[in-house]
Amino acid sequence: MRRLFGGPTLWLVCLLTILPAARADEPLVLVTGPKTGTYYAFGKDIAQAAAKAGIRIDVKASEGSIDNIKRLNGSENAALGIVQSDVLGFLSRSKSKESERMASNLRLVFPFYNEEVHVLARKSIKSFAGLQGRKVAIGEEGSGNMLTAINLFSMMNITPAESVKMSPAQGVVAVLKGELDAVVFVGGKPVRLFKNLEDLTLPENRKYATMLEQVHFLPLDNPRMLEEYKPAQISHADYNFVDETVPTIAVQAVLISHDFSQGHSKRRCDRLAALADAIRANLPALKEKGHPKWQEVNLDADSGVWKKDVCAKSSGGEHSGLMKILEKDKAD
């Protein structure tokens, strides 16, 4: 495992940067993901909703969850980030005290939607434990795929012979050709990458059909995994080459921030509360006109091990409308 926690996580040993209070006219910086991904699209939707309430959001693309945590604790003064929920376990398992302190400083603003963990492997491998001593594609540097793969390996005490950093598509091809034993990918099903594998069963792609017959999705249902992840499944309805329903786990995409509830960050705390109100007020419109994944969002869903942000929580939550009625001024 030592090499897994090398280059991409050296930043974990850096000291936390104390963030200065933002001026009222400065936008809140939100770090998301690649511009072609769902996180970035969600960020743009959030910025539009916030603008209606007079709150400026500067949406920035990133390399993914690991990069976002780095930038939340860096010099660009980012206030918010969209990450995979298992980033907390990832940080907590690091042997660095500074990474543990980072984890203790992060707060959940809102949960968003689930993303299923897909582990496509050679059929000779029957379980996740069977990845011990194998060659596994874990995604690109700084990606959420890499984060989840490292977290699961650490959680289950599994040490692959080689953890290969490459794009998901390259990983799938390598597994189909028998060059690698498995590939880890995190994404809301049905994932286009695996949906496209259905084309290998078409007559014109007959020469590839035998490759597809040699792979399957590994079951992920160990009780230890379910302490941090939500139960899910992959079925024939998702991908037609899946014959029997396979249990798996899901990670949540979540909106997080620093803990701005302390006195020196009161102004930012107030702005975060206003942003939380704006997202709640605009949720019906976001479900109707925003990215399709908004339709799966429940802002009051179980947050698991995450501590909820005090600033966002103080915005009123599900009873905010009632509070507004009780607190409004009436003319005599």
Architecture of the domain defined by 26-112+254-321: 3-Layer(aba) Sandwich (3.40)
pLDDT at 164: 97
* 8 A C-beta contact, residue 206 and residue 132: no
Stated as kind and residue range, the H or E segment containing 321 is helix 320-327
The reported pTM is: 0.73
Tokens of 310: 């005090």
Question: Which among 150, 153, 147, 164 is positioned nearest to 130, based on CA atoms?
Answer: 153
Stated as kind and residue range, the H or E segment containing 251 is strand 246-258
CA 67 from centre of chain: 12
Residue 158 pLDDT greater than 50, yes or no: yes
Question: Which among 167, 156, 155, 151 is positioned nearest to 130, based on CA atoms?
Answer: 156
Does domain 115-251 fall under CATH 3.40.50.1820? My reply is: no
CB contact set of 147 (below 8 Å; sequence gap of 6+): 64, 65, 66, 84, 86, 87, 90
Q: What is the 3-state secondary structure (H, E, C) of 100-150?
A: HHHHHHEEEEEEEEEEEEEEEEECCCCCHHHHCCCEEECCCCCCHHHHHHH
Residue ranges, CATH 3.40.190.10, the chain: 26-112+254-321, 115-251
pLDDT at 263: 57
What are 261-290's pLDDT values in tens digits? 765 567 778 888 999 999 999 999 999 999
Give me Rg for the CA atoms of the chain.
Answer: 21
Residue 60's CB: how many other CB atoms inside 10 A? 18
pLDDT at 324: 40
